[in-house]
């Protein structure tokens, strides 16, 4: 039985990247740390909220890597001589990725009460009508 590629359909020219995007998303880990929410804040606005208690702004990095929003957290090593009788607050490093559709951009980010908020907006491009000249061969 032959696997029909989504990007091979004759009416979907140039959509082969969509198939790679689906494969990349499926391969991303299902690690539950840190927990997060995704909210819709309007017809073209979204917010991703990650619970990053104990992380300072300098411990967090937000980057865009090939249409993927990547959020990394790494706490500085504790140089103190603390002795824990119980350690239930996770302080491990993390990386969480979200694949963004074309036209979705990061509007800003903020850290408030242990929650990292990343605001996204969908930018609608202006419709372009283009006339293509026909050459004589």
Same domain membership, residue 98 and residue 65: yes
Same domain membership, residue 71 and residue 11: no
Looking at 28-137, which runs of residues are DSSP E strands? Answer: 36-42, 45-51, 60-65, 68-73, 94-99, 104-112, 115-122
Q: Is residue 131 part of a domain?
A: no
Q: Is residue 64 part of a domain?
A: yes
pTM (2 decimals)? 0.71
Q: Is residue 96 part of a domain?
A: yes
Same domain membership, residue 25 and residue 88: no
pLDDT single digits (tens) 67-113: 889 999 998 776 677 788 998 877 789 999 998 988 899 999 999 99
Q: Are 33 and 21 in contact (CB under 8 A)?
A: no
- Tell the burial category of 118 from Cβ atoms under 10 Å away from its Cβ (0-12, 13-18, 19+): buried
Q: Is residue 109 part of a domain?
A: yes
Strands lying side by side in the sheet with 60-65? 60-65, 68-73, 94-99
Q: Total domain count for the chain?
A: 2
Residue 26 has a pLDDT of: 59
Same domain membership, residue 50 and residue 12: no
Same domain membership, residue 16 and residue 55: no
Same domain membership, residue 109 and residue 85: yes
For residue 23, the enclosing domain spans 1-30
Same domain membership, residue 43 and residue 62: yes
pLDDT single digits (tens) 109-119: 999 999 999 99
Q: Is residue 137 part of a domain?
A: no
Name the 3-class secondary structure at 113: coil
């Amino acid at each position: 039985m032959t696997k029909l590629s989504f990007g091979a359909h004759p009416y979907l020219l140039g959509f082969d990247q969509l198939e790679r995007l689906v494969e990349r998303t499926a391969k991303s880990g299902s690690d539950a740390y840190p927990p997060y929410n995704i909210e819709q804040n309007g017809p073209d606005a979204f917010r991703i909220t990650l619970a990053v208690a104990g992380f300072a702004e300098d411990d967090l990095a937000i980057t865009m890597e090939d249409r993927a929003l990547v959020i990394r957290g790494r706490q500085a090593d504790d140089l103190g001589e603390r002795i824990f009788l119980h350690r239930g607050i996770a302080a491990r490093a993390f990386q969480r990725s979200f694949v963004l559709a074309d036209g979705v951009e990061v509007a800003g980010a903020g850290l408030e009460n242990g929650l990292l908020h990343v605001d996204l907006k969908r930018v609608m491009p202006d419709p372009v009508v283009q006339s293509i000249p026909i050459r004589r061969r």
